[in-house]
Structure 1
């Protein structure tokens, strides 16, 4: 685990796998007490069916188009979705708020990121400073 990029990739995969499994536990805790185990089974079946359809569609896209084209379309879709959800144009740096950013009335509890990040750094939405290499 000497390579930092490999470690970051590995930790991301582990976090994703744990999150996927935790979703089932949380879903059970939320659905079973109110709706019963039959509804929980139905929710899991629908989730599995949707995943199967989307995986097949994703495989077709991955086979037919170049990787860079698929990534460009995914980035474009993300930008459009960000604009639709946030109500404003995304900044060039996804972690930094645009100048003069104020809390959005459509999103309760949203607030600008406090304080400057300092030279060579960016603030994440949680307030942590992320340094970038020059």
Structure 2
């Protein structure tokens, strides 16, 4: 901000001028009302003159410092068990790339059965497939 105060020759001691108070107010970058325009994918921490982003447990902050990606690298080595998409039974997050590894001892086969509801989105680039 720049404030200019000028006077000319006409003030002959009548006018006192002014007194003003100024204050720097920190901008809360995290308080965006519209979720689509929020500065962070998940958690925004406002700090004096700035902000930083972090992610919920199970997610990793990406190189852009704003977006979070689910970490879903899982290894299973028990005789039986359950695995699920991240956040199941809630909606899974976008932009996933999960790798699940199931390993059993030699001599065993793995039978994988998807339990209802099997609820994933169709994608226009990938034809829907059914397996038996």
Question: What TM bracket, shorter-length normalisation?
Answer: under 0.3
Bigger fraction of residues in helix: 1
Bigger fraction of residues in strand: 2
TM-score, normalization by structure 2: 0.19
